[in-house]
């Protein structure tokens, strides 16, 4: 586990490559965001996008999936908020996405003496190096448990 104490301002992380298939774009959007340019390849040709593009909700889901694959695993208690999400380039079938993020700053929690607050900036980038999405996150992380006390994620409140 990566605890609050382990986090260093300006530390960076780069995820694995994530292949975005047409089937996944359509399946996700049919369930959650069924706009024509997300679910109908023929119809999408005649929109401003000129073809099928992934839903913004889908892109955020992919970002969370890649965050969850980080090792060591961050000792998240909760995400408090997200700011400045910008959808800068469309994500299309066959794109290969990578998540890059960087810690902006950290501070002690005012409400929870066993936790700290970490601000970070993330971006999804495609195989051309274009930025698909940017986001800033505010997360609460556990501090390292003293004396082998189990962490709140594993057994303690």
Instruction: Point out which residues bind a copy of itself (CB under 8 A).
Output: 31-37, 46-50, 55-57, 60-62, 64-65, 68, 76-87, 152-157
Dist. CA 49–CA 111, nearest whole Å: 45
Q: Which is nearer to a copy of itself, 78 or 128 (CB)?
A: 78
Give the shortest CB-8-to-a copy of itself separation in angstroms.
Answer: 23
Nearer to a copy of itself, 10 or 41 (CB): 41
Residue 24 or 100: the one with the smaller Cβ distance to a copy of itself is 24
For residue 157, the 8-state DSSP code is -
Nearer of residues 77 and 118 to a copy of itself, judged by Cβ: 77
Q: Is the torsion defined by CA of 51, 56, 57, 59 positive or negative?
A: positive
User: How many other CB atoms are found less than 10 A from the CB of residue 84?
Assistant: 9
CB of 31 to a copy of itself, least distance (A): 8
Residue 108: CB partners within 8 Å, gap ≥ 6? 116, 117
Q: How far is the CB of 147 from a copy of itself (least distance, A)?
A: 18
* CA dist., res. 111 & res. 105, Å (int): 18
- Smallest distance from a copy of itself to CB 89, Å: 11
């Amino acid at each position: 586990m990566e605890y609050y104490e382990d986090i260093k301002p300006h530390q960076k992380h780069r995820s694995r490559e994530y292949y975005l298939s047409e089937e996944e774009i359509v399946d996700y959007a049919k369930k959650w965001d069924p706009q024509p340019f997300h679910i109908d390849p023929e119809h999408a040709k005649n929109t401003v996008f000129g073809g099928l593009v992934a839903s913004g909700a889908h892109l955020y889901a992919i970002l969370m999936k890649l965050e969850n694959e980080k090792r060591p695993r961050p000792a998240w208690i909760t995400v408090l908020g997200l700011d400045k999400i910008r959808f800068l380039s469309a994500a299309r079938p066959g794109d290969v996405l990578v998540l890059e993020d960087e810690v902006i700053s950290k501070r002690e929690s005012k409400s929870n003496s066993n936790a700290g607050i970490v601000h970070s900036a993330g971006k999804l980038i495609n195989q051309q190096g274009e930025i698909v999405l940017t986001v800033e996150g505010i997360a609460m992380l556990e501090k390292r448990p003293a004396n082998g006390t189990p962490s709140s994620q594993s057994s303690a409140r």
